[in-house]
């Protein structure tokens, strides 16, 4: 029995096929994530509709893998109701197999801003002798980017541990390299991180 990937390799050289397939996958994923996010919050379609300023029937139409008329403004409106931001980008077709295979309730769930650990957990500062707010902000932005990237890959790389040495590219105010340890601690792709800032001297060259 052939795998999904085998079939894609066979069929995707046909340009019309791969674009129809990809569009169908995006539509399916959006509808599925809409349902997953609503259920994650324990909301009915009517409750979500009220928060979006829409009719319940409209949510019902959108929560269908066959719905194919998404608009960015509608998606943003729904994103605001969930307190999430919308990311739109072009991708290579080579990402389709992993996109499909990584689709699950766990990988589609997202936390609203109020539950986002990045904004509501203290950055552990190690022995934190020399950190300042500006550097903390820089680190938070880097960690945030990595967190989103890691979440996207989380299913295929469960429990990964990444140790990152920012080296000379990002330095603490005292020109001491910072180290941030990124650890994927759950199967949901959520991560915890701990930063160690400015407490060590750069090793002598």
Among 138, 151, 144, smallest CA distance to 178 is for 138
CA atoms within 13 A on the CB side of 143: 27
Does the protein bind other proteins through residue 93 (CB under 8 A)? no
Secondary structure of 88-125 in HEC code, one letter for each residue: CCCCCHHHHHHHHHCCCHHHHCCCCHHHCHHHHCCCCC
By rule CB under 8 A, what string of x and - marks binding of each residue 17-56 to other proteins? x--xx--xx--x--xx-xxx--------------------
> Residue 89: which of 72, 64, 102, 73 has the closest Cα?
72
Question: In this complex, which beta carbon is closest to other proteins, that of residue 107 or of residue 150?
Answer: 107
Which one, 3 or 145, has the nearer CB to other proteins?
3
Piece of 16-24, 142-150, 153-161, 169-177 that binds other proteins (CB under 8 A):
16-24
Provide the minimum distance between the beta carbon of 106 and other proteins in the complex, in angstroms, as a whole number. 11
One of 50, 64, 83, 194 touching other proteins (CB under 8 A): 64
Residue 98 lies near other proteins (rule: CB under 8 A): no
Nearer Cβ to other proteins, position 98 or 130? 98
- C-alpha span between 168 and 6 (Å, rounded): 44
CB 106 within 8 A of CB 188: yes
Selected binder of other proteins within 46, 57, 68, 124 (CB under 8 A)? 68
Tell me whether residue 198 is exposed, middle or buried, using C-beta atoms within 10 angstroms of its C-beta: 0 to 12, 13 to 18, 19 or more.
buried
Q: Which is nearer to other proteins, 18 or 192 (CB)?
A: 18
Report helix, strand or coil for 171: strand
Site string for other proteins, 140-179 (x = CB under 8 A): ----------------------------------------
What would the two tokens of residue 96 be?
A: 């389709």
Task: Please state the closest distance from residue 40 (CB atom) to other proteins, in A.
Answer: 13
Q: What is the DSSP code string of 14-64? A: SHHHHHHHHHHHHHHHHHHHHHHHHHHTT--HHHHHHHHTS-HHHHHHHSS
Q: Pattern 100-139, binding to other proteins, x per CB under 8 A?
A: xx-xxx----------------------------------
How far is CA 54 from its chain centroid?
26
Q: Which residues bind other proteins (CB under 8 A)?
A: 1-2, 4, 7, 11, 16-17, 20-21, 24-25, 28, 31-32, 34-36, 63-68, 100-101, 103-105
């Amino acid at each position: 029995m052939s795998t999904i990937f085998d079939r894609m390799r066979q069929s995707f050289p046909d340009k019309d096929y791969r674009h129809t397939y990809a569009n169908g996958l995006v539509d399916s994923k959006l509808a599925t994530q809409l349902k997953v996010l609503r259920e994650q919050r324990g909301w009915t379609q009517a409750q979500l509709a009220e928060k979006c300023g829409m009719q319940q029937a409209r949510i019902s139409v959108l929560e269908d893998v066959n719905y194919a008329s998404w608009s960015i403004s509608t998606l943003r409106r729904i994103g605001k109701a969930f307190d999430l931001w919308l990311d739109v980008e072009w991708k290579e077709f080579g990402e389709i197999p992993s996109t499909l295979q990584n689709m699950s309730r766990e990988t589609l769930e997202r936390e609203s801003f109020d539950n986002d650990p990045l904004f509501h957990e203290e950055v552990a500062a190690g022995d934190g002798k020399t950190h300042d707010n500006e550097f903390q902000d820089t680190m938070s932005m880097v960690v945030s980017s990595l967190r989103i990237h890691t979440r996207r890959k989380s299913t295929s790389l469960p429990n990964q541990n990444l140790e990152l040495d920012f080296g000379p590219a990002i330095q603490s105010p005292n020109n001491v390299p910072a180290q941030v340890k990124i650890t994927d601690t759950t199967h949901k792709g959520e991560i915890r991180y701990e930063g160690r800032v400015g407490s060590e001297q750069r090793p002598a060259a």
